[in-house]
Amino acid sequence: MPGEWEFTVDSARVAKVKIPNHGGGSWVPTQVILLSYSYKNIGFDDSANFKDGGPSTLAFSKAQIDVVDANDADNGGAGNYPVRIKRVEDADGQKPGQKMVGAQWPYAFKKKVGAVRVTVSHYDSTLKLHEATFLVPVEGARHSRPHANKHVHHG
């Protein structure tokens, strides 16, 4: 988003985790994808919109990032499935000029995926919502060939 932030999907890879089956009727994923991403606050500051608001920061977490199977819209990625993964960093709020590199978040899927569609949504300094979509091949999945993460749509 010009003048506000830069967002990059670094990778989507199959996470090597033990998936607990707790029974009780809850669904059990067959695959967990670890989404790695980076962002930089170029000039995002929405503090003028809030009375007595301190300096604002920019953060992207699972609330702003939707991940689904690029080839099966019904195979959505659950960003709240309880998997324990080392080195998952908190997506810290960044002030203008700062950047977050290597933020990670796990997404659990019912069926195995070869590529994911990542939709990122965030408000700008004037509280206008912006959205961008990325098609990202999943590393470690069968039939995937490495190529650049393709930016599909920006609105």
pLDDT digits (tens, 9 = 90+) for 91-103: 667 888 888 888 8
Cα separation, 33 vs 11, whole angstroms: 10
- Ranges of each domain in the chain: 5-20+28-154
Q: In which residue are the tokens 């959505």 written? A: 76
pLDDT at 34 over 60: yes
- Residue pair 120/60 in contact (Cβ under 8 Å)? The answer is yes
End-to-end CA distance of the chain: 10
Tokens for 4, please give them.
């506000």
CA angle 136, 141, 147 (to 5 degrees): 40
pLDDT band for position 127 (cuts 50, 70, 90): confident
The pTM of the full predicted model, rounded to 2 decimals, is 0.76
- Residue with the bigger pLDDT between 60 and 71: it is 71
Asked: is 5-20+28-154 a CATH 2.50.20 domain? The reply is no
- Residue with the bigger pLDDT between 127 and 25: it is 127
- Residue with the bigger pLDDT between 118 and 105: it is 118
- Residue 140: count of CB within 10 angstroms of its CB: 14
pLDDT band for position 50 (cuts 50, 70, 90): confident
How confident is the model at residue 84, as a pLDDT?
Answer: 66
pLDDT at 153 over 60: no
pLDDT at 17 over 90: no
